[in-house]
Chains A and B, each alone.
Chain A
């Protein structure tokens, strides 16, 4: 049993809906406080060295979950253990900084995640500055060059003086990756790293990520809405719906024998670039409606209003996340 690098237990993140001045002053007297239940009780583990996929559509809470895992926001409930330490009980700047060196994130939007006013030079040396791990000019330059080479960028005076608006989407994303790699992290969260890139660039960056993982042995969480990306890159994955994890396990098991009706719908909704059949069959199995709001999720199983196999119990009771096969877990009354 490989050891767990990360253990997420019962994370809940509820965002209070702001009520304005009067509401804020009088509190609960006017109306019951409403919350957006972005993440509503998720637990899973990530094993050392693997790529774990968090798959779900928009509104499922995957980005919020990532921010909690990286301690960018406090959870309403639950704990996160990184190498068996509770990251929310870390005290002091030194401990926090150490965590930040070991756990990092590549953001989804390369156009928004870099300060447009700084040059590439400033941006690439920043991690060294922030963590005070500069050695001397020569050594730093070497490290920076190595990081840039690793992501496929080249050190030239011209390039160093550019600012993000002058870089392409792919170059920006690579720069963001290089900055993070300079810290030699053990753990990387990749939030939809290729969803905003062109098709041919997607494959380049995905290949790059595979290389990096092989060379550096970094453990990763890959957040994506695209099942085919998860299929390609991840060993295990978790399917998220409306703030809950509905199924998790080895990627092959889930794709070949999906259990939860939502997972099945996701798989059947993927239009594949592969035409042994005409492809209509794929579309016919979709479910109707759209993801409901996270403010007032359906009672019982959250998926029941759209579920083609909903039963009476689904409307009343929330299913518990249980193990069906080896490592294959699902939250559905069909299997309990």
Chain B
């Protein structure tokens, strides 16, 4: 059994715990809640109590419930965004890197333009144009992250295709698809896993960011960033729980997925598998 360094084990363990915890909370949480996220079930701005474990917000809604339901939205958008950007970015990156030539140069140019755009401004613009629905938000976040996948997968494809065994396979008679599927894909799996994990973290952060700015999920739908933003005004009046818990969740989610991603990266490296882009 391979022995990993302490920091690697730590990262993976903590990361996994947090992620699993978050997932369980999102999936099972809403079934055990006493209150719904939109339900006005208590006094406004009530501090945490047995009834409302995280207190209530400015309108009297249960914060805990809003956290759990909000998580679902954040994750949903993050998953769609990561799924979209990884699929598009990976396939185009590998194809571009492997095929090379003018197509490669054109695609790289396009992706570089996309990459040069500050992602928040782009996401804000797209969200503003299309409107802040779940799908549109996922789309705008997703677009912003395509270049990352594209670049990493392209560079892997470029370096692998130069290796001599690829020429040996071509000499045997293998066609392009065969080579990409059987000989290049094994080299991208580790990088993909790491990038996806980090990508989820980044997407959640961005969704929350958009919500915070007011162009994400709109009130009264619960969302960590939106709630954080609307809670700001009440923070200084002493209602710390309205800001603390949404902030905590964002922090935990980003931390958890980042730790998981970094831990996986370290595991791959200690095993001698190459990873890129991290």
Contacts and interface: CB of A to CB of B under 8 A. Distances in A.
A and B directly contacting (CB within 8 A): yes
Interface in A145-191: 176, 179-180, 183
Interface residues of B, number: 17
B186 interface: yes
Interface in B169-186: 169-175, 178, 182-183, 186
B164 A100 contact: no
A185 B172 CA distance: 11
Interface stretch (A4-12, A124-132, A224-232, A244-252): A124-132
B171 A112 contact: no
Given A107-B164, A130-B178, A115 B171 contact: no
A96 B168 CA distance: 15
A97 B173 contact: yes
A124 to B, nearest CB: 12
Interface string A92-135: 01001100110011010100111111100000001100110000
B167 interface: yes
B168 A107 contact: yes
Query: What interface size band does chain A fall in?
Result: 20 to 34
Contact of A115 (B165, B170, B173, B178): B165
A289 B123 CA distance: 63
Nearest to A115: B165
A119 to B, nearest CB: 12
Given A112-B164, A114-B165, A101 B171 contact: no
B187 interface: yes
B163 interface: yes
A259 interface: no
Contacts of A180: 172
Contacts, number: 52
A114 B172 CA distance: 12
A101 B173 contact: yes
A267 interface: no
Given A72-B170, A93-B175, A130-B174, A117 B164 contact: no
B171 A72 contact: yes
A114 B173 contact: no
A179 B175 CA distance: 17
A105 B171 contact: yes
A100 B163 CA distance: 20
A70 interface: yes
A100 B171 contact: yes
Contacts of B178: 130
A126 B172 CA distance: 9
Given A115-B183, A117-B186, A130-B178, A109 B170 contact: no
Contacts of A70: 171
A15 to B, nearest CB: 15
Which 10 residue pairs are nearest across A and B when measured between Cβ atoms? A100-B173, A112-B164, A113-B168, A117-B186, A115-B165, A130-B173, A113-B164, A105-B171, A130-B174, A113-B165
15 contacts: A67-B167, A104-B172, A107-B164, A107-B167, A107-B168, A112-B163, A112-B164, A112-B165, A115-B165, A115-B186, A117-B186, A118-B182, A126-B174, A127-B172, A130-B178
Interface of A: 67, 70, 72, 93, 96-97, 100-101, 104-105, 107, 109, 112-118, 126-127, 130-131, 176, 179-180, 183
